[in-house]
Chain A
Amino acid sequence: MERFKQYVLELCSVYTLMSVLGAVINIIAGTETNNANVLIMFATCAIATFVLFMHKLIDNVSPLVMIIVQYVVACALVGAMLLALSVLVEPISARGWFEYYRSFTIPYIVLAGFYYYRVFSEAKKQDAMIKEIQEKEPEDR
């Protein structure tokens, strides 16, 4: 229950940020959104928050495996969402499917690469810190 509350809290924060950002972009670009787009944005935020939230849940799996699992889960959830939209709102073309997957795959790979780099750079930094602490080790610690 506690985790569900935390998830809902994170989802609310993400959705609020995305809504404000979308509104600012609409004002600048002079465009307008519609109800379907608002719902799609909410569903996308819910999926993205859930996928990122998974990272904290399964602790004993290696980060690389977790990144792959998260991507597969994201693909499945996005697929389900697009299928629902295709049935309930209007049919989505093959190009639409491709564009949607591409639009989240590219940032996902970039961010995963950045995370990969961070793990290695942080470990290097921590290793240097340990060496520094060991060098300063007093005789009678």
Chain B
Amino acid sequence: MKLNLYEDVNCEEHVDVYYNCMRPVVRQIIDAVDSDRPSLSGRPADSDLDDGDSVLLDPRDIYYLDHVERKLFAYTRSGVYRLMTTLSDCEAELWNYGFVRVSKSNIINIYKIRQLKPDINMKVYAFFDNGERICINRSYKKSFNEYLERMRRIK
């Protein structure tokens, strides 16, 4: 898809989309422009970085973000995507949208949690709709609780 960008400090910011078929990627661009919600750009984790189309991920579809070996991955129902950004940037960007840091390498979407449950070792896990689980690290327990309190108040 050809992309033209024009910088004009005097103009009212706008986006024109020319398309011949309403493909998912076009739909995603429209959704991204239409919404105040941030979207994340990622590539399927199993594809090479140089090939494969980049897709825009809606934060509502993401279960959690995982930082492994200096790479950041987003887990959704449809698959795993590699994001070319940092965990702390995502944390700052998605803070208002139900995403909270629960360990050094994980940010979870509280809207996707099915249950929060401790195991016999007293480690607390967030269980997701897709059957996966993420441990809530005890040093993040306080900030996690404060985040929940805050989200409960503002709704």
B47 within 8 A of A: no
B28 within 8 A of A: no
Task: Report A110-141 CB contacts with B as 1/0, cut-off 8 Å.
Answer: 00000010011011001101101110111011
Complex Cα distance A128/B122, Å?
18
Complex Cα distance A86/B111, Å?
60
Which residues of B come within 8 Å of A, CB atoms? 35, 37, 60, 97-98, 110-111, 113, 115-118, 120-124, 137-139, 141, 144-145, 148-149, 151-152, 155
B122 engages A130 (CB within 8 Å): no
Partner of A141 from the list B60, B122, B124, B137 (CB cut-off 8 Å) is B60
A130 engages B155 (CB within 8 Å): no
Residues on the B chain within 8 Å of A140, using CB: 35, 37
Partner of B123 from the list A63, A116, A126, A129 (CB cut-off 8 Å) is A63
Residues on the B chain within 8 Å of A129, using CB: 148-149, 152
Residues on the B chain within 8 Å of A127, using CB: 115-117
Measured CB to CB, the closest approach of chain A to B111, in angstroms, equals 6
Complex Cα distance A126/B100, Å?
13
Measured CB to CB, the closest approach of chain B to A94, in angstroms, equals 35
Look across to chain A and name the residue whose beta carbon is closest to the beta carbon of B149.
A129
A133 engages B155 (CB within 8 Å): yes
Look across to chain B and name the residue whose beta carbon is closest to the beta carbon of A59.
B139
A56-81 at interface with B (beta carbon < 8 Å): 56, 59-60, 62-65
Look across to chain A and name the residue whose beta carbon is closest to the beta carbon of B141.
A122
Complex Cα distance A48/B98, Å?
39
Q: Can you list 6 A-B pairs with a CB-CB distance of less than 8 A?
A: A62-B121, A64-B121, A65-B121, A120-B118, A127-B116, A129-B149
Complex Cα distance A62/B136, Å?
11
B155 engages A136 (CB within 8 Å): yes
A123 engages B118 (CB within 8 Å): yes
B123 engages A62 (CB within 8 Å): yes
Complex Cα distance A132/B148, Å?
10
Residues on the A chain within 8 Å of B149, using CB: 129
Measured CB to CB, the closest approach of chain A to B122, in angstroms, equals 4
